[in-house]
Amino acid sequence: MHISQQLAAQAVGQVLDGRNLSTVLEDIFRRHASITPQQRAVAQDLSYGTVRFYGRLQAVLDLLLQKPLTDEYIHHLLLVALYQLSFDRAASHTVVNQAVLAATKTKKSWAKGLVNAVLRNFLRQQPELESHLEGNEEALYSYPQWWINKLRQQYPQSWQAMLEAGNEHPPMTLRVNRRHGDADSYLQELHGAGLAATLLGDDAVVLERPTPVGRIPGFGEGRSSVQDYGAQFAALALDAQDGMRVLDACCAPGGKTGHVLELADVAMTAMDNDEQRLQRVQENLDRLQLKAKLVVGDAATPDTWWDGVPYDRILADVPCTASGIVRRHVDIKWLRREQDISSFTQQQAVILQGLWRLLAKGGKLLYVTCSVFHEENQQQIDQFLHAHADAKLLPYRHAQLETTQGQLYPGKEHDGFFYALLQKV
């Protein structure tokens, strides 16, 4: 276990220095290729868990220390071990002993004694420490205070539930490919393979436990894809019909691209500004046995890649704070700054303006974010409608969302998304 604790401590430290967690773990595992699959899995779980509850863990550690630690590795190792003692099922004495062993990495004589004392004090004083956290919202919810304040102001009736949803483990949801059968039949096939799952909507099934895709029946043949239920609403809302010319802007990794093509025979252009991410789109399309024209380009400057022929449908899945998907990307809470919202809204406005010129009269553009902040969502759309007399906001209809506003709150079944369907009149 101490190897996994060491690697997790390294990962947590790099995230708090501003790096993306998934990228950090890829780099760490590449450098430690000799570790076992179990050590790798434990290190990943500890990294995600510690970052997820960093606000609470740091507040507890502050109470346990007489003065701030100058050794960053020991600091982050203690956070990892506190996560284990607070949330993990491992035996307390094992966690402490292994953390002490992991502290030897520093080769500093004081490290082992400090780690042992801090963790044993935590075990002895846990109820008292918990009482000291009352009133500390960053510790209670494990979000930055500015984030908590913003949600409380924008969602006075549901802000607490939204924060709590962001700290849950996300479900593993599959989108069933309609070209290969219906969800009911696929559900029975999953059950036959020993995979417990439940039906969600018309085309989605939720696995009871996350499962490697290699074990999922028909996945390699394109009969299903991993996609959050909320993200599956996009292709349905776009309402693409056979023969239409469709653009999926900012398309990587291609989940929505594939879904649109599963629902209709369209001339699809999938565009992204990252050539490497487009390769992943191609891999997904190949698995689904679907075809699209892939284009490297910037949605904000379409004149550099557009062929001049208008599109009947445009899916604008714009860059955003990703504040609605923090349970999948736990580092976002600590990497984002409040001022980032303004940068994203400016970028979104430029993209929306640029793509609108590409839409045929009578065509529809679906504006999508995976954010819950109003500035990126309804406020962005309101400003666009005010500036464009040829734009009309259409009602967004779904069994769970009968509104034109289109804000999906993060919850048990799906992440947080915003949808606005615009028509050029």
Residues forming the active site:
370
Q: How far apart are CA 159 and CA 163, in angstroms?
A: 6
Question: Residue 64's CB: how many other CB atoms inside 10 A?
Answer: 15
In contact, 12 and 76? CB cutoff 8 Å: yes
Name the residue among 421, 367, 381 with its Cα closest to residue 397: 421
Tell me the C-alpha to C-alpha distance, in Å, between residue 161 and each of 4, 151, 155, 369: 32, 10, 10, 20
Q: How far apart are CA 115 and CA 61, in angstroms?
A: 11
Angle between helices 54-64 and 72-87 (to 10 degrees): 110
Residue for token digits 């894809």?
225
Buried b (16+ CB within 10 A) or exposed e, 337-367: eeeebeebbebbbebbebbbebbeeebbbbb
DSSP string, 126-140: HHHHHHHTTT-HHHH
Tell me the C-alpha to C-alpha distance, in Å, between residue 416 and each of 327, 380, 395: 10, 17, 19
Q: How far apart are CA 84 and CA 370, in angstroms?
A: 30
